[in-house]
Amino acid sequence: DYDRGEMNIADYVALIQAPLIGVAKRDVDALLARCVRDEIMPRVYPQAWDLIRTLQAKGEQMLVISASVSLLVQAVAAQLGIEQALGIDVEMADGGYSGVIAGTPSYQQGKVLRLAQWQQAHPEYSGEVTFYTDSINDLPLCLHADRVRLVNPCPQLAAANAQHRWPVLAWRL
């Protein structure tokens, strides 16, 4: 469903959060730290690391915005050295995660809204938006951004790009 841009995000979040319901936040955080370190960070493209370092050296503001849950997005962003991150917020219940989305999910058109909210909350940011993506689900933010770079785009996004001609980057591990 995700690959076709047809996923019900509330159902998905409830499904992936189900194993965490009733688990203390501190225990989830410990598992998450290990997962990010051992499973996610080794899969970050070298080209992404190069880009992040270049932008940091220039003093550029960076924001990771993802349709993954905030606890994961924030942990990955921190490991990348990026201070600002937005994901899908999940309500807390009894000291742990509930599996219920809180607020607007950063998915499809919700990413545009969440970015606008972030920009309003961070008036020090006044620059243009350059957006990197691989997913058809991000088309609304692609259409909103000042500059777009497609990184290994999915077939649907590659097809949609025929009318936009955004640069396509082929990143490899």
Quick one: three-class SS letters along the chain? Answer: CCCCCCCCHHHHHHHHHHHHCCCCHHHHHHHHHHHHHHHHHHHCCHHHHHHHHHHHHCCCCCEEEEEEEHHHHHHHHHHHCCCEEEEECEEEECCEEEEEECCCCCCCHHHHHHHHHHHHHCCCCCCCCEEEECCHHHHHHHHHCCEEEEECCCHHHHHHHHHCCCCEECCCC
Q: Is residue 153 part of a domain?
A: no
Closest to 65 (Cα-Cα) out of 129, 1, 153 = 129
What pLDDT score was predicted for residue 4?
A: 78
Q: Is residue 164 part of a domain?
A: no
Contact 33, 75 (CB under 8 A): yes
Q: Is residue 160 part of a domain?
A: no
What pLDDT score was predicted for residue 7?
A: 86
Q: Is residue 77 part of a domain?
A: yes
What pLDDT score was predicted for residue 127?
A: 80
Q: Is residue 3 part of a domain?
A: no
- What CATH number is given to the structural domain containing 123? 3.40.50.1000
Q: Is residue 167 part of a domain?
A: no
What pLDDT score was predicted for residue 91?
A: 95
Q: Is residue 87 part of a domain?
A: yes
What pLDDT score was predicted for residue 125?
A: 82
Each of the 173 residues of the chain gets a pLDDT tens digit; together they read 787 788 899 999 999 999 999 899 999 999 999 999 999 999 999 999 999 999 999 999 999 999 999 999 999 999 999 999 999 999 999 888 999 999 999 999 999 999 999 999 998 887 899 999 999 999 999 999 999 999 999 999 999 999 999 999 999 99
What pLDDT score was predicted for residue 57?
A: 98
**What range does the domain containing 95 cover?**
9-127
Quick one: three-class SS letters along 102-140? Answer: CCCCCCCHHHHHHHHHHHHHCCCCCCCCEEEECCHHHHH
Query: What's the domain count of the chain?
Result: 1
Q: Is residue 146 part of a domain?
A: no
Q: What is the CA radius of gyration of the chain?
A: 16
What pLDDT score was predicted for residue 2?
A: 82
